[in-house]
Structure 1
Amino acid sequence: MLDNNIKTQLQAYLTNLQHPIELVASLGNGQKDEEVRGLIADIAELSDKVSARFDGNDARKPSFTVGRNGDAASRVQFAGVPMGHEFTSLVLALLQVGGHPSKAGQDLIQQVKDLSGEYTFETYISLSCQNCPDVVQALNLMAVLNPGIRHTMIDGALFQDEVNARQIMSVPTVYLNGEVFGQGRMGLEEIVAKLDTGAAARDAANIDRKDAFDVLVVGGGPAGAAAAIYTARKGIRTGVVAERFGGQVLDTMSIENFISMKETEGPKLAMALEQHVKEYDVDVMNLQRASKLVAASESASGLTEIQLQSGAVLRAKTVIIATGARWREMNVPGEQAYRNKGVAYCPHCDGPLFKGKRVAVIGGGNSGVEAAIDLAGIVSHVTLLEFGDAMRADAVLQNKLRSLPNVTIILQAQTTEVTGDGSKVNGLSYTDRVSGEARHIELEGIFVQIGLLPNTDWLRGSVELSSRGEILVGRHQDTTVPGVFAAGDVTDVPYKQIIIAMGEGAKAALGAFDHLIRSGVSAS
């Protein structure tokens, strides 16, 4: 099952096991069952601290548990073959069940251990989903740390009956004790915060008590991370407040144009960014959304204030806004009602759930055409709708798309409504912009790929924005508010690229430091 190179690497990892572990498989007679059998046998051969049994009686087949020897109720389970993006989840589960310590912060680990009650989690994933491993790994770790927690990863493409019965049309989808707990990327910190209901209030109180920062970075994507590193290296008091560290990069599948790095994936780059930031004395406040900016000239403290949705207020001598952008929505009736019920924004993540079904892709740019090409290999038929009179994607992508037999391209189409049966999408209505005729397509999924919107709603009335809602910046990334700078996709600087955002983050940091010196606001 595993090639020799992977076996060699895995064998080295398994030397970190501190306790014997046992893999118990529940198998049927299919091809995937044999793949699980082979996978478990390969792992057991690599360490004398790993044993395998094939007499499990779980209803999900194929599946297997990872537990300590003698543990009557193993709390970590994989239903399916955890390869692809989930192979790392399997490796971490082996190590953590075997006693190898997690890299999570000790305060967070203790918070997990202190959770009381019984929690049975089930996470539906697809092996091509780059967001799913974060959720699986977080819940697996929680199951290792707390005897009241159990977790099962379920490959939605393999267990289609469950997916259809529960009407799951987006991954990752997490169930807790039989009820939907959450959808989309969630890290350990976010999951624990949802379970520990008093955590948000405690965090808000702690944040509110913090002393003023020399530089406060709002946003944790490439621009924010670069800004934080540059200011921290100046030896000044630096803070980062972010809704989710990594930002839009977390949703990026493949990155092949980041100079010096031939190829990587968004989540890997996001993790590297966070680790780099934490090499310095930076106060990182995650899972916090900014709600308002109050300029120094208008605040009682004489400092720029950032109000958070939690009610806490942060104060700083200078602020760098790097809140990035989000997927642009169609803003038509039915879109929100059927979000994650057929309306999706990540073809890599959710595509496998639509195997053999009819879907539409909205948008004829590179993202839309690439999505249509990828989906064409999974679904029965793809209809691509473009508002303009021509697709805007690169010619090579357009040629590839037109060569596919199960793709229909409709130009000059204005989407007007997403239709459904109350529980899931069943079609899409659009207007032919040439004839004015209203038309309808019957389908089961809609993938929206029409670009990004800057995350500036919270800034309206405080800094000057462009007609597109982007922050207007000068040569030094300065905004129209003294002491406030901005960088990355949230600004009006053209060419939204990761490497450009990082460069702008560095410029903003240098601009903020220069402002501290020249304005007479002393840096600590």
Structure 2
Amino acid sequence: MFSFNVEKTSEKSIFEHLSFWDLIVVGGGPAGLNAGLYAKRKGLKVGIISYEIGGQLHNTSTVDNYLGIEYIEGKDLSDKFLNHINSLEIPILKQIKITSLKRIKQDFEITLSDGKILKSKTVLIATGGAPRKLEIPGEMTFANKGVSYCTTCDAPFFKDKHVIVAGGGNSAAEAVIDLVPWARKITVVHRSKWRADQILLDKHKSIDGLTVHLNTQILNVYGHGNMQGVEVLDKTTGKTFKIDADGLFVEIGTVPNSTLVKDLVETTGQGEILVDQNQMTSVPGLYAAGDV
């Protein structure tokens, strides 16, 4: 089930009194909000259900690759999105659970945890992705005890500490930059070579106390009470060694939040929803967009 929240009393009232919609958007990240915007402009009766507005922007410190905006804080961009949606008077339902989504004849029924049933001609799933786990021994044992999946959320807790960043893509490279004001020492561990944009890697050159272990795989997380380090495998030499550290930031991408419709639509082996050129799933009238 997915948890959501009510943005305004008036918007909750709209959802209570208007039970049939042209489009219900599930998810409030960039993909979902854009869908809501365009649907509203077309004159459709559209509502958005989302836990929070902005999606992964809330876990992003800065954005510098959004055309037309050279630099902006993730939270500020999220606020701009919300202001735009509010200007169009698109209702948003938050902090309530969706217990089921069913295809009923030519329409869809969305059942909420309070018993309310919403009906819509079409539904767009834009629930995004959740942080991908390393799935190694000790990872869950020390989750929130040194192991974190949100650098912008937890970096301040590691002031003057030694932290490890797992990953080699843009999210890992950005995590390194976000940790600089806080961590005393940063160590990157990645199982292959860097895949991050060069513009991010160039910023790493001026970072003191940065160590990078490529072609190196984390085998387990160890500690007592709190995390104390990781054991890694050098894939080039075949040797294992330990890295003592106070924290581990796992930045290896996301897995799709497709649980709500996994038994309804066709998905890939990784759980990603398959869509056609019009973003429609294998079920007519049910669409998907974004990282899901």
- Could you say which TM-score interval applies, normalised by the shorter chain? 0.7 to 0.9
Distance 2:14 2:217 in 1: 48
Higher fraction of helix: 1
Cα deviation for residue 486 of structure 1 reads: 1.6
Mapping of residues 152-301 of structure 1, within 5 Å:
210-297=18-105
Cα deviation for residue 458 of structure 1 reads: 2.1
Distance 2:184 2:287 in 1: 48
Cα deviation for residue 377 of structure 1 reads: 5.1
Q: 1:395 to 1:261 in 2, by over 3 A?
A: closer
Say which of 323, 340, 346 aligns to 2:150: 346
Distance 2:6 2:24 in 1: 21
Partner of 2:245: 443
Percent of pairs with identical residues: 37
Letter in 1 for 2:243: I
Q: 1:393 to 1:237 in 2, by over 3 A?
A: closer
**1:338-369 CA deviation, whole Å, 9 max, x = no partner?**
22321123333432332222111101222212
TM-score in terms of structure 2 length: 0.85
Cα deviation for residue 264 of structure 1 reads: 1.8
Mapping of residues 118-517 of structure 1, within 5 Å:
210-297=18-105, 303-308=107-112, 312-376=116-180, 378-388=182-192, 390-398=193-201, 400-401=203-204, 404-422=207-225, 424-490=226-292
Q: Specify the SS of the correspondent of 2:63.
A: coil
Letter in 2 for 1:296: I
Higher fraction of strand: 2
Distance 1:213 1:481 in 2: 18
Letter in 2 for 1:337: T
Distance 2:61 2:206 in 1: 24
Letter in 1 for 2:21: F
Distance 2:25 2:278 in 1: 16
Would you say the 8 A contact 1:207–1:312 is kept in 2? Answer: no
> Greater CA radius of gyration, 1 or 2?
1
Q: 1:409 to 1:291 in 2, by over 3 A?
A: farther
Cα deviation for residue 241 of structure 1 reads: 0.9
Would you say the 8 A contact 1:430–1:439 is kept in 2? Answer: yes
Letter in 1 for 2:217: Q
Q: 1:292 to 1:332 in 2, by over 3 A?
A: farther
Structure 1 portions without partners, runs of 5+ = 1-186, 191-198, 491-524
**1:256-293 CA deviation, whole Å, 9 max, x = no partner?**
22223332222122222222222234331112343433
- The structure with higher relative contact order (CA 8 Å, sep 6+) is 2
Q: 1:305 to 1:436 in 2, by over 3 A?
A: farther
Cα deviation for residue 474 of structure 1 reads: 1.5
Q: Which runs of 4+ in 1 moved over 6 A?
A: 187-190
Number of equivalences = 286
Would you say the 8 A contact 2:176–2:186 is kept in 1? Answer: yes
Q: 1:268 to 1:464 in 2, by over 3 A?
A: same
TM-score in terms of structure 1 length: 0.50
Cα deviation for residue 314 of structure 1 reads: 2.3
Distance 2:15 2:223 in 1: 43
Q: Specify the SS of the correspondent of 1:295.
A: strand
Q: Specify the SS of the correspondent of 1:378.
A: coil
Letter in 2 for 1:392: R
Q: 1:418 to 1:402 in 2, by over 3 A?
A: same
Cα deviation for residue 404 of structure 1 reads: 4.4
Q: 1:345 to 1:234 in 2, by over 3 A?
A: same
Would you say the 8 A contact 1:207–1:313 is kept in 2? Answer: no
Cα deviation for residue 254 of structure 1 reads: 1.3
Letter in 2 for 1:313: I
Distance 1:403 1:269 in 2: 28
Mapping of residues 40-189 of structure 1, within 5 Å:
none
Would you say the 8 A contact 1:417–1:428 is kept in 2? Answer: yes
Distance 1:253 1:342 in 2: 20
Q: Specify the SS of the correspondent of 1:274.
A: helix
**1:98-146 CA deviation, whole Å, 9 max, x = no partner?**
xxxxxxxxxxxxxxxxxxxxxxxxxxxxxxxxxxxxxxxxxxxxxxxxx
Would you say the 8 A contact 1:463–1:480 is kept in 2? Answer: yes
Q: Specify the SS of the correspondent of 2:62.
A: coil
What is the RMSD of the two structures over their aligned residues, measured on CA atoms? 2.9
Would you say the 8 A contact 2:5–2:50 is kept in 1? Answer: no
